[in-house]
Chain A
Amino acid sequence: MSDTPKIRLRGLTKAFGSKVVLDGVDLDIRARHSMVILGGSGSGKSVTLKCILGLITPDAGTIEIDGQDVARMSRREREALNDRIGMLFQNGALFDSLPVWENVCFKLLAQRRISRRAARDKAAEVLAQVGLAASVGDLSPAELSGGMQKRVGLARAIAAEPDIIFFDEPTTGLDPIMGAVIDGLIVDCVEKLGATAVSITHDMASARRIGDDAAMIHKGRIVWRGGAANLGETGNAMVDQFARGEREGPIQMELRK
Chain B
Amino acid sequence: MDRTLDLTAALGRVVIGFLRSVGAIAIFAAEAISHLVRPPFHGRLFLKAFIEIAWFSLPVVALTAVFTGMVLALQSYTGFSRFNAEGAVANVVVLSITRELGPVLAGLMVAGRIGAAFAAEIGTMRVTDQIDALSTLSTNPMKYLVTPRILAGTLALPLLVVVADILGVMGGWLIGTQQLGFASGAYLKSTFDFLHAADVISGLIKAAVFGFVITLMGCWAGYQSGGGAQGVGRATTSAVVASSILILALDYILTAILFAR
Contact = CB atoms under 8 A, between A and B. Distances in A.
B24 interface: no
Given A90-B129, A93-B128, A93-B130, A53 B139 contact: no
B179 interface: no
A82 interface: yes
A106 B128 contact: no
Interface in A166-190: 166
Interface string B234-251: 000000000000000000
B12 interface: no
Pairs A-B, 6 closest by C-beta atoms: A93-B129, A93-B133, A87-B136, A107-B137, A110-B139, A89-B129
B84 interface: no
B125 to A, nearest CB: 8
A83 B138 CA distance: 6
Interface string A79-95: 10011011101110111
18 contacts: A53-B132, A53-B136, A55-B132, A55-B135, A82-B135, A82-B136, A82-B138, A83-B138, A86-B136, A87-B133, A87-B136, A91-B128, A93-B130, A94-B130, A96-B124, A97-B121, A107-B139, A111-B138
B79 interface: no
Contact of B139 (A50, A87, A90, A106): A106
Nearest to B136: A87
Contact of A95 (B132, B133, B135, B138): B133
Contacts of A89: 129, 132-133
Contacts of A156: 137
A145 to B, nearest CB: 17
B135 A54 contact: yes
SS of B interface (majority) = helix
A110 B138 contact: yes
B40 interface: yes
A112 interface: yes
Interface in A30-71: 50, 53-55
Nearest to A168: B129
A90 B130 CA distance: 11
B121, B129, B137, B138 interface centre (most CB from chain A within 10 Å): B137
Interface residues of A, number: 25
B221 to A, nearest CB: 19
Contacts of A111: 138
Nearest to A97: B121
A112 B42 CA distance: 12
Nearest to B42: A110
A237 B26 CA distance: 52
Contacts of A85: 136
A79 B135 CA distance: 9
Nearest to A112: B40
Contacts of B132: 50, 53, 55, 89, 93
Nearest to B135: A55
A187 to B, nearest CB: 21
B121, B124, B133, B135 interface centre (most CB from chain A within 10 Å): B133
Contacts of A97: 121
A91 B129 contact: yes
Contacts of A79: 138
A93 B135 CA distance: 12
Interface in A195-243: none
Contacts of A55: 132, 135-136
B112 to A, nearest CB: 21
A77 B40 CA distance: 17
Interface string B101-142: 000000000000000000001001100111011011111000
Contacts of B129: 89-91, 93
A79 B128 CA distance: 23
A110 B137 contact: yes
A156 B128 CA distance: 16
A213 to B, nearest CB: 23
B128 A107 contact: no
Interface in A109-158: 110-112, 156
Contacts of B137: 106-107, 110, 156
B133 A107 contact: no
A166 B132 CA distance: 13
Nearest to A81: B138
B139 A95 contact: no
Contacts of B136: 53, 55, 82, 85-87, 166
